[in-house]
């Protein structure tokens, strides 16, 4: 009985060895490959990275030099001290593909003389074709979000100190500024009612009124203060995971602004990427079959999954949209040999196939 078992085991090993020897291609997960002992190439399937651009409005509040005399101009809303205010005005999400370290494979090649071995990879090592040369794609250039600054002028920086007049108290200067505001408002009324009895063309009226309005605002700022607004873009990169569908990615405070990661003050910003189970009906290979077994004349590709992605701050949903997430999908095996394949380098999905019938 033991001799029969030994003979059967020997035959099985011989059959396995013959199979490996005659296989033109042998695909194995990269982590179980012994380096330097095979003839072949590594290729990767892509994973999806989310790029989140947070558009932040930063407002610098500058107290007016005559804020304590604001009653002279009848204003209720004014800046009482220098400070900063922050506000999220938009969140823009985009995606790009990078090699997935959990979906990197080695293809051992045992091509016979005269046989062509035709693999096509991207510059990142992502497989995009076997036997079929990918068509050159001209991806539309994404216009990067940029920050818009309204830097403080020298006048802004010396805002509190440039209106001093030697020999006059602050109260006297404030009263003089308030009188000027009254005179400007009177001139605006005269302009609107035609008090000058001078005929001007419409554009001239508009320009004169705009000049008076600007002058009034400049004097008012001595009492109510100034607001200098900048728009900045803060970018966070997130790689969704099947195992962790919710990640804390940043914090935001109206007083302290935006900070990536979990440090800093303010409300936590969370990214949720929930699978919509669009591939749930597909019976995929087991993890052990993917990671430990060598597959003859076959190539791994991936059918991607669709996810509902939300960016949440506290109880407020800042952004919600559906995205294709490659790593949420399922691994599948495609036959090689007489088959030519084209793969999407962003998802790992087969998008074209040619098959010889003879």
pLDDT in tens, 173-202: 889 989 998 998 888 888 777 766 666 677
Radius of gyration of the chain (CA): 34
Domain boundary among 224, 250, 279: 224
User: Which residues, in sequence order, are CB contacts of 120 under 8 Å at separation 6+?
Assistant: 127, 128, 129, 130, 132, 133, 134
Closest by CA to 106, choosing from 232, 291, 250, 244, is 291
Domain boundary among 174, 190, 224: 224
Same domain, 205 and 168: yes
How distant is the alpha carbon of residue 263 from its chain centre? 20
Per-residue tokens: 145:
């979000």
Q: Check if the beta carbon of residue 205 is closer than 8 Å to that of residue 193.
A: no
**Which pLDDT does position 333 carry in this prediction?**
94
Same domain, 320 and 243: yes
Is residue 319 domain-resident?
yes
Is residue 1 domain-resident?
no
Same domain, 190 and 300: no
Distance CA 201, CA 310 (A): 54
Number of domains in the chain: 2
**Which pLDDT does position 166 carry in this prediction?**
58
Is residue 248 domain-resident?
yes
Same domain, 312 and 346: yes
- Tell whether the torsion through CA atoms of 253, 258, 262 and 265 is positive or negative: negative
Same domain, 257 and 130: yes
**Which pLDDT does position 186 carry in this prediction?**
87
**Which pLDDT does position 191 carry in this prediction?**
79
**Where does residue 191 fall: left (phi above 0), alpha (psi -120 to 50 degrees), or beta otherwise?**
alpha
Same domain, 188 and 304: no
**Which pLDDT does position 8 carry in this prediction?**
40
SS3 content of the chain, % helix, strand, coil (to 5): 25, 40, 35
Closest by CA to 153, choosing from 221, 212, 207, is 221
Is residue 70 domain-resident?
no
Distance CA 107, CA 341 (A): 15
Closest by CA to 130, choosing from 346, 355, 358, is 355
Residue 180: strand, helix, or coil:
helix
Domain boundary among 182, 205, 224: 224
Same domain, 35 and 139: yes
Widest distance between CA atoms in the chain: 125
**Which pLDDT does position 200 carry in this prediction?**
65
Distance CA 195, CA 201 (A): 15
Q: How many helices (H) and strands (E) does the chain have?
A: 5, 14
Same domain, 349 and 271: yes
Is residue 346 domain-resident?
yes
Is residue 114 domain-resident?
yes
Strand-pairing partners, residue 152, are none
**Which pLDDT does position 14 carry in this prediction?**
41
Same domain, 192 and 325: no
Same domain, 135 and 166: no
Same domain, 121 and 185: no
**Which pLDDT does position 240 carry in this prediction?**
96
Is residue 7 domain-resident?
no
Is residue 11 domain-resident?
no
Same domain, 199 and 265: no
User: Which residues, in sequence order, are CB contacts of 111 under 8 Å at separation 6+?
Assistant: 24, 117
Low-confidence stretches of the chain (pLDDT beneath 70): 1-23, 37-38, 111-116, 136-144, 146-167, 195-200, 357-358
Q: Which domain holds residue 206?
A: 160-224
**Which pLDDT does position 4 carry in this prediction?**
46
Specify the pTM.
Answer: 0.77
The half-sphere exposure of 215 on its side-chain side, counting CA atoms within 13 A, is 18
């Amino acid at each position: 009985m033991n001799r029969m078992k030994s003979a059967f085991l020997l035959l099985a090993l011989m059959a396995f060895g013959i199979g490996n020897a005659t296989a033109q291609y042998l695909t194995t997960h990269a982590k179980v490959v012994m380096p330097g002992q095979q003839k072949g190439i590594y290729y990767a399937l892509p994973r999806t990275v989310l790029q989140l651009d947070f558009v932040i409005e930063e407002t610098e509040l500058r107290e007016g030099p005559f804020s304590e005399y604001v009653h002279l101009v009848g204003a209720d809303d004014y800046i009482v001290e220098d400070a900063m205010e922050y506000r999220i005005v938009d969140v823009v999400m985009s995606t790009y593909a990078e090699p997935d370290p959990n979906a990197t494979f080695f293809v051992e090649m045992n091509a016979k003389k005269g046989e062509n071995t035709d693999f096509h990879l991207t510059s990142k090592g992502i497989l995009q074709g076997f036997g079929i040369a990918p068509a050159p794609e001209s991806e539309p250039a994404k216009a990067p979000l940029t920050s818009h600054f309204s830097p403080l002028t020298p006048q802004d920086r010396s805002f509190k100190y440039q209106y001093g007049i030697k020999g006059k108290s602050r109260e006297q200067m404030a009263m003089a500024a308030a009188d000027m505001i009254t005179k400007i408002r009177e001139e605006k009324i005269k302009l609107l009612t035609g008090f000058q009895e001078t005929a001007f063309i419409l554009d001239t009226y508009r320009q004169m009124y705009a000049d008076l309005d600007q002058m009034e605002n400049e004097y008012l700022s001595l009492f109510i203060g100034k607001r200098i607004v900048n728009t900045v873009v803060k970018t966070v990169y997130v790689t969704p995971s099947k195992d962790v569908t919710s990640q804390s990615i940043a914090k935001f405070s109206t007083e302290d602004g935006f900070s990536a990661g979990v440090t800093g003050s303010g409300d936590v910003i969370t990214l949720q990427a929930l699978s919509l189970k669009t591939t749930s009906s597909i019976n995929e290979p087991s993890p052990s079959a993917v990671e430990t077994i060598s597959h003859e004349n076959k190539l791994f590709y991936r059918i991607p999954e669709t996810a509902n992605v939300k960016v949440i701050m506290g109880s407020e949903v800042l952004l919600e949209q559906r995205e294709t997430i490659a790593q949420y999908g399922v691994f599948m095996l495609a036959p090689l040999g007489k088959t030519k394949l084209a793969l999407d380098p962003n998802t790992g999905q087969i998008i074209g196939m040619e098959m010889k019938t003879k």
